[in-house]
């Protein structure tokens, strides 16, 4: 027993070295980076209730030659994990000696909710509906204020990485303001199944819950931004991660940050709008359609049963479209979601 304890004590420095060797910073001082820099840092966001700093991981590559600053931000919702793995694999594959510009990649920006397996912030607010934040606001507003001022102000381009929420599944799809040529190009590079044209943005002095997201805030700052939905929550999906890595590397190739051929990917379905279809009564829901399935008006999409198995209702597609996302939880009360229906531009 004494020998085992002695061996453990001797191993402590080696167990801790990876964490101790990572620098802690209060601010991202990109202007001080030397060429050919590839580093990992902990960035302080706030203090918790024990006066401990809440840190988030930041991966930085600063190249040999000048170029744009590309931001990759994953998991503003704490259950959106696929984007984290995409960032890690992209970073590992970069040769800083042949890199142009700067990559600022954050594999997990919600430092409170990720380790707690939560989607929302500690006060049950959605961080992605609280931009631009407030310096002296409530808990969510102050955290968002830090994101807005410490990170977004440093970027020239942004890929905002998400997944579906708990109880739902997503295809790999992109939300983008496709009337903007730069944003349209970014969207088309992502190896997505679907691109959803999402044009509505608030004015600089407008606070609308449905639109004042991180993507909207970045675009108000003049940063071309797309949101990529990488399938399902709280899991790593290897095929989605592989495709996500292709999309990010395609973007860096297009921006001339890396010397690599753009990978040609299948053409996504272009949608002009989308909406959710909801249940009218609670019960046990069976969704009968698959992600990416093309639907015709009148196709059956779901059946609702009571606990005894009796059919309460059948749901049908209201118009031609494609399944962007769907419910994966059979237990569904009044107003629960069935499918996220995209309407292609030619419909």
Assess whether 52 and 145 both reside in one domain: yes
Range of the domain at 319: 271-344
Residue after which a domain boundary falls, among 221, 254, 287: 254
The torsion angles phi and psi of 143, rounded to 5 degrees, stand at -65, -45
Render each residue's pLDDT in the chain as its tens digit; 347 residues.
444 433 333 333 433 445 557 899 999 999 999 999 999 999 999 999 999 999 999 999 999 899 999 999 999 999 999 999 999 999 999 999 999 999 999 999 999 999 999 999 999 999 999 999 999 999 999 999 999 999 999 999 999 999 999 999 999 999 999 999 999 999 999 999 999 998 765 544 554 444 589 999 999 999 999 999 999 999 999 999 999 999 999 999 999 999 999 999 999 999 999 999 999 999 999 999 999 999 999 999 999 999 999 999 999 999 999 999 999 999 999 999 999 999 999 85
CATH number at residue 31: 3.40.630.10
In a domain, 7, yes or no: no
Count of domains observed in the chain: 2
Assess whether 147 and 204 both reside in one domain: yes
Whole-structure pTM value: 0.91
The pLDDT assigned to 212 comes to 86
In a domain, 15, yes or no: no
Assess whether 284 and 226 both reside in one domain: no
In a domain, 324, yes or no: yes
Assess whether 43 and 110 both reside in one domain: yes
In a domain, 11, yes or no: no
Residue after which a domain boundary falls, among 200, 227, 254: 254
Residue after which a domain boundary falls, among 229, 254, 279: 254
Assess whether 293 and 211 both reside in one domain: no
Assess whether 234 and 286 both reside in one domain: no
In a domain, 30, yes or no: yes
The pLDDT assigned to 69 comes to 98
The torsion angles phi and psi of 173, rounded to 5 degrees, stand at -135, 160
Assess whether 191 and 76 both reside in one domain: yes
The pLDDT assigned to 200 comes to 62
Assess whether 250 and 275 both reside in one domain: no
In a domain, 335, yes or no: yes
Assess whether 44 and 130 both reside in one domain: yes
Nearest to 45 by CA among 116, 113, 95: 113
3-state secondary structure string across 130-141: CCCCCCCCCHHH
Q: Residue holding tokens 């959605």? A: 126
CATH number at residue 316: 2.40.50.100
Residues 116-137: b if buried by 16+ CB within 10 A, e if exposed: eebbbbbeebebbbbbbbeeee
d(CA 238, CA 248): 15
In a domain, 117, yes or no: yes
Assess whether 75 and 150 both reside in one domain: yes
In a domain, 262, yes or no: no
Q: Kindly state the DSSP code that residue 128 receives in the 8-state scheme.
A: G
E strands present in the chain:
23-25, 37-47, 53-62, 65-74, 100-107, 157-162, 168-170, 172-176, 194-197, 225-230, 269-278, 283-287, 294-295, 300-305, 311-316, 321-327, 331-332, 337-344
Assess whether 100 and 183 both reside in one domain: yes
Assess whether 193 and 290 both reside in one domain: no
Q: Quick check: 324 and 347 in contact, CB under 8 A?
A: no
């Amino acid at each position: 027993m004494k020998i085992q304890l002695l061996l453990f004590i001797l191993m402590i420095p080696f167990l801790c070295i990876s964490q101790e060797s990572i620098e802690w910073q209060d601010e991202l001082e990109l202007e001080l980076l030397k060429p050919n820099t590839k580093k990992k840092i902990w960035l302080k966001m706030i203090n918790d209730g024990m006066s401990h700093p809440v840190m988030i991981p930041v991966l930085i590559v600063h190249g040999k030659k000048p170029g744009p600053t590309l931001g990759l931000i994953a998991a503003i919702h704490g259950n959106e994990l696929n984007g984290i793995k995409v960032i890690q694999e992209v970073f590992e594959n970069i040769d800083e000696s042949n890199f142009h510009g700067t990559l600022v990649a954050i594999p997990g920006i919600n430092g409170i909710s990720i380790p707690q397996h939560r989607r929302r912030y500690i006060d049950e607010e959605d961080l992605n509906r609280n931009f631009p934040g407030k310096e002296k606001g409530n808990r969510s507003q102050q955290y968002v204020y830090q994101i807005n001022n410490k990170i977004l102000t440093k970027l020239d381009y942004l890929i905002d990485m998400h997944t579906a929420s708990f109880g739902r599944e997503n295809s790999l799809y992109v939300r983008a303001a496709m009337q903007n040529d730069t944003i349209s190009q970014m969207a088309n590079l992502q190896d997505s199944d679907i691109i959803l044209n999402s044009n509505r943005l608030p004015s600089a002095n407008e606070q609308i819950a449905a639109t004042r997201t991180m993507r909207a805030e970045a675009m108000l700052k003049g940063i071309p931004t797309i949101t990529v939905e990488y399938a399902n929550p709280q899991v790593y999906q290897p095929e989605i991660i592989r495709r996500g890595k292709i999309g990010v590397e395609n973007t860096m190739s297009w921006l001339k940050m890396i010397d690599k051929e753009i990978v040609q990917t299948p053409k996504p379905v272009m949608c002009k709008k989308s909406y959710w279809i909801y249940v009218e009564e609670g019960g046990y829901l069976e969704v009968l359609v698959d992600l990416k399935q093309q639907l015709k008006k009148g196709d059956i999409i779901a059946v609702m049963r009571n606990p005894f198995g009796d059919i309460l209702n059948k749901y049908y597609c209201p118009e031609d479209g494609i399944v962007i996302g769907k419910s994966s939880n059979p237990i569904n009360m009044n107003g629960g979601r069935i499918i996220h229906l995209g309407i292609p531009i030619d419909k």
